[in-house]
Structure formats: C-alpha cells, structure tokens
Amino acid sequence: MSTASASPPVPSSVPPSSLRERKKRRTRQLLVDTSLELFTERGFGNVTLDELCDSVEVSKRTFFRYFTSKEDVAMAPTQDLWLTFIDVLETADLGPADRPVLLLIQDTLLTALGRTTTDDWSHRVLLSRNLAERTPSMDAHGLHFCDRTTRAALATLHRRLDIPDPADLRPRLAVDMVVAAFHCALATWASATGTVTTTAPAAASRNAPSPNSLSAHTRHAFTALAAAPTFPVTPRQDTSPRP
C-alpha cells in the first residue's frame, strides 16, 4: 500500500474517542448557537426544525441525538448549568455530619456556576431568557425540566445521605428554596443589560454582564434566603393626611 493513499494517522496522544467527543460537542454547540440566532432574528415559531437542521447541515436524526425539541435546544444554556449541578452533587464533599443540607445544595450550585459560566454562556442565557419570555411553549418546557432536575437532585440526596423517612419534606424544600433563590439572582443579573436582540459576538461581549457577577448575585440571594424566615412583619406607617 502506498503512503499517498493511506489515511493520515491519528496522533497517539489523542485517543479517537476524544476526537469523537470533541466533534459531538462542536455539533451540539453549533445547534445551540444557530437556534438562538435564528429564533432571535425570526421568532421562535417562524423557524422550523427542518430549517434549523439545514442551517447546521445535519439531519433531524442527528438533532434528536442531542435534543428532544426546539424548546429543548433553545433552553440548553440554563439546562446545561443544572445538568452540571446534578453531576457535581453526585460527588460533592458532604462536609461534617451537622452541615445543613441547604448549604450543601447552595455550595453545589456555586461550584456548577464556576464550571459553566463564560462570556459566551452568559450571552446565550440572555438570548434564551428573552425568547422564553415571549414563547409559552418554552416556559412550559422549563417547568418540566425543573421538575425532572428537582427529582434527580432528590434521588441523589436520598442515595448519598441518611434520610430515614422517604417522605421527609425537608430535602425537597431545601432544593426548591435554592432553585427559587437562583431564579431571583438570574433575574437581577439579567436586568443589568436589558433585552438582548443581537447574536453578534462583538455586541455580545459589550452587552452581556460579567458571568462572574452571576455568582455574586447568587451569593447575595442565598444571604437573603437565610434571612427570609425571620423577616419581620412591620406595618407601613401612613403619614399622608386623610381626606
């Protein structure tokens, strides 16, 4: 066999599986970026799945290897964060036995944020949020994803922790409180830039708030969460004159 007709060898330092995984990640990311671009420019309902696949030059069969629907690919940025959260929770240091579960979940989410957030990610999240605000089907998809993520987190907690009563509501409430606090943090973080309507990278870097600041907003929300149970009821003093 001549060397001219032979395929170039794969470097021994890079396993073939790694090359395949990188290609899969690139394809998946291209689907996310293209979907957000098309949905933002033309409207979610005005872009068909066939058009999205044609733009990326993949088949619908390939699309469904990565995502279940248009809603799924459009919400991938925040969903990726929560999938990372579940992965981190599987191996997170549990700390001392008297450590509150609420703190474990909070620390896990902050670790997931540190592994997920980049400038590109923050811009994708903003585009996805803006789309969800005007697309009811994305909002419904988000609720279903949140429910699945919560159940996955609870399953992990019950597997790793000594929780004698399977019906104990405290782990569920701890997860729900962290999710609610993060949603508040995400909203205040996103409001720093307003509505993003461009997918241009240069504009993204100018308009998107720092991804590191999302962690700061999240920590602030966790501090407020700790103080919420003791927030006092103080009647408003109406000093305006009566008619």
- What are the residue boundaries of the structural domains of the chain, listed by start? 16-68, 75-228
Predicted confidence (pLDDT) at residue 17 exceeds the cutoff of 70:
no
Predicted confidence (pLDDT) at residue 193 exceeds the cutoff of 60:
yes
Model's pTM, two decimal places?
0.82
Q: For the structural domain made of 16-68, what CATH number should be given?
A: 1.10.10.60
Fold exhibited by the domain 75-228: Tetracycline Repressor; domain 2 (1.10.357)
- What is the predicted pLDDT for the residue at 103? 97
DSSP letter string, 9-47 = PPPTTS-HHHHHHHHHHHHHHHHHHHHHHHHHHH-GGGS
Mean pLDDT, rounded, for 63-80 = 96
Q: CA-CA distance, 154 to 180, in Å (whole number)? A: 16
